[in-house]
A and B are shown apart, each in its own frame.
Chain A
Amino acid sequence: MSQPKPEQLVQIQYGPQPRDWMDPAVEFRKGTFCYSALAKNLNYLGLPNARDWQPFDEDWKLPPDWKRIILDGMKERLEKFRSFRLFMDICVRCGACADKCHFFLGSGDPKNMPVLRAELMRSVYRRYFTLAGRLLGRLAGARDLTEDVIKEWFYYFYQCTECRRCSVFCPYGIDTAEITMIGRELLNLIGCNINWVLEPAANCFRTGNHLGVQPHGFKDSVDFAVDELEELTGIRVDASINRKGAEVLFIVPSADYFGTPHYYTFLGYLALLHEIGLDYTFSAFASEGGNFGLFNSHEMIKRLNAKVYAEARRLGVKWILGGECGHMWRVLHQYMDTMNGPADFLEVPVSPVTGTRFEHARSTKMVHICEFTADLIHNGKLRLDPSRNDHWTVTFHDSCNPARAMGLLEEPRYILRSVCNRFHEMPENTIREQTFCCGSGSGLGTDENFEMRMRGGLPRANAVKYVHQRHGVNLLACICAIDKATLPPLLEYWVPGVEVAGVHELVGNALVMRGERPRLTDLRGEPATQAEAVHA
């Protein structure tokens, strides 16, 4: 037989066959899904159907009555959450959301269009909860609930970072993230959950933070940071833990005192709060701002969030200050008050330095550190030397939750413009409310899911690349702990040469502290580029 010519070889049809979206079969390819939750974590949290299984197994070992459980669960939630029923009913499939999801943009997979992602559940809703669907079946866009549908839900509801970008564009305000949340809740009922969500949740339940750091470990970390800050600035700060009677309880995401580049932001907080003399304390039991319950179920959000108020009460503080975290603020703004509030035992936050009363926080009693710092700067209470950040050309990534769930758009920008000289925005349709997700939020930032994360992060990285090439941007600032963990690998892949930092790291660099010795380095310990100006 003669050798086939190259052009004959390529006659093979590689392209995917056009498929009906109703066909639920999915392929669990390595790199594109998260591993299942370990049985020990389910047991710890008292969740059902703990067992050994993986998404790529043929048999998911569902409970025998899994179908009834899911349908009952749907029924219950349709009654409990009016929004859920509305979202199931009112979509007109106009397609305005279709091309707004970063996972769709990075993968080209139509089931990552928000409208289709929601349709995966809506079709089941129609089949079992509407007359037309019961009678007409597929004709009415209804599908039977099968094991394959469960697998498909798992695949696509854990391929949505609950970023809510799509909801910004929906004329009816349908929030696909909420549908994803319900989807994950239902999957939870039959034990289909991922470890990257449940392990942090279990840890948080046990020790008060996602990493499972125990109180003495927490203290070690804080002490270590205090030592290092002294080495860098010559100033010894007092960072108290569990101190009763402090005015303010300060809650940060645990990555701030464990991971990098978060840690430098932590140093920035310590420097700032010392300089203004805030009477604050950390809690070793509510040592986590984040809330992985958000990626699991409403019940779990409530359980984990309750610790924050419990500790505020125990320590007898007046109000709560929160660090740079993403979903912590989503929980705070959208759920905390209803679930565990109102926090009547606390006072409406007032900045002891400027006298500003944070009216918007009068119910939750919790203020974002960017709001707090912006107020300090606005009132001229900080001495800042932005030239200390001259080695950075900065852009700002609006983290999904602070931007879209709490509208924190101006404060971080105001701070950045005050603490650095070189700042450039990314293109308009990629920032503020329209910001693109890091691609790894909502518990999807796992190693095994790396490829999918790179796809989902492409639109974000692409905008960073633009300002990197055009303005020489070499630092992406952000105010979310997940971002600080997941943007560095994203940029390492797509835009090498751009680093990631928290806003308060840059504040810490620029902050001129009373009695400090000349700064030879920035908070990262990298040599200061400029000759240190005299700050007498």
Chain B
Amino acid sequence: MESKELIGEAWFERVLRAYPPQGAKFLGTEPDPFRNPAGHTIRQALRTLLDELYQDMDRDRVTQALDSLMQIRAVQGVAPSLALEFLFQLKEIVRAQAGGADWDLMNGRIDDLALIAFDLYMKYRERTYEARANEARRRVFLLGRRLMADAPPAWPERGGR
């Protein structure tokens, strides 16, 4: 298991390289989850993914981990290729350690993760569009309400959301 931990550390370090060095240092070292939400989330998610890669690939757990990563990456101004890069970086690291059948298995599993991650990235991009549209609606809420003053009071639909 020691090698798995080494892989984990190497992977985390590679992922942080996507950030400027001064920023990466903080993201990688500050342990308080509230002072360092991004770094903490990334570390937790990578740990879960690695565990699952070496075990059963529990779909719920990997999806949840990828979800938290994509949620952050989807608003960090990077192209999808960059947002998913961390999985391909893992391939490089694992390949240096594993051989033969093991490598084939891992390779396939990482590809599966990439597909899930891509869907999640899109989910969060779409969510930004929805949130923007809803925000615009909320801003002029009362204008709409006043124009519809004669409409029957369908309270729930006239609520804040």
Residues of A bordering B, CB below 8 Å: 6-7, 9-10, 14-16, 18-19, 29, 31-32, 98-99, 104-110, 113, 220-221, 224, 231, 255, 257-261, 263-264, 427, 429-430, 447, 450-451, 454-455, 458-459, 462-463, 466, 485-486, 488-489, 492-494, 499, 521, 524-527
**Contact present for B38 and A105 (CB under 8 Å):** yes
The smallest C-beta distance from B81 to any residue of chain A, in angstroms, reads 8
Complex: chain B residue closest to A486, CB-CB = B135
A99 contacts B22, CB within 8 Å? no
Q: In whole angstroms, how far apart are the Cα atoms of A439 and B27 in the complex?
A: 19
Interface set of B (CB-CB < 8 Å, partner A): 17-24, 26-27, 30, 32-38, 41, 71-72, 75-77, 82, 85, 88-89, 91-92, 95, 124, 127-128, 130-132, 134-136, 138-143, 145-146, 149, 153, 155-156, 158-161
Residue of B whose beta carbon sits closest to that of A499: B160
The answer to whether B139 and A485 touch across the interface, beta carbons within 8 angstroms, is yes
B77–A99 CB distance below 8 A: no
User: Which residues of B have CB within 8 Å of A264?
Assistant: 160
* B15 nearest CB across to chain A (Å): 10
Interface of B, helix, strand, loop or mixed by DSSP: helix
A-B contact count (CB 8 A): 156
- CA A260 to CA B144, docked complex, whole Å: 11
A99→B142 contact, CB < 8 A: no
Q: Taking A99-B30, A99-B35, A430-B34 as contacts, is the C-beta distance between A10 and B92 under 8 angstroms?
A: yes
User: Are B27 and A493 closer than 8 Å at their CB atoms?
Assistant: no
Out of A14, A15, A19, A462, which one reaches B33, CB within 8 Å?
Answer: A462
Are A525 and B155 CB-contacts (below 8 A) given A9-B88, A220-B146? yes
Query: Closest CB of chain A to B118's CB: distance in Å?
Result: 15
> Which A residue sits closest to B72, measured CB to CB?
A458
* Complex alpha-carbon distance, A527 and B161, angstroms: 15
Contacts of A259 in B (CB 8 A): 138-142
Residues of B within 8 A of A463 (CB): 34
A11 to chain B: closest residue by CB = B92
Contact across chains for B128 and A450 when beta carbons are under 8 A apart: yes
- Would you mind naming 15 contact pairs between A and B with Cβ atoms under 8 Å apart? A10-B89, A105-B38, A107-B76, A108-B19, A259-B142, A261-B138, A261-B160, A447-B136, A454-B128, A462-B34, A485-B138, A489-B131, A493-B71, A493-B127, A493-B131
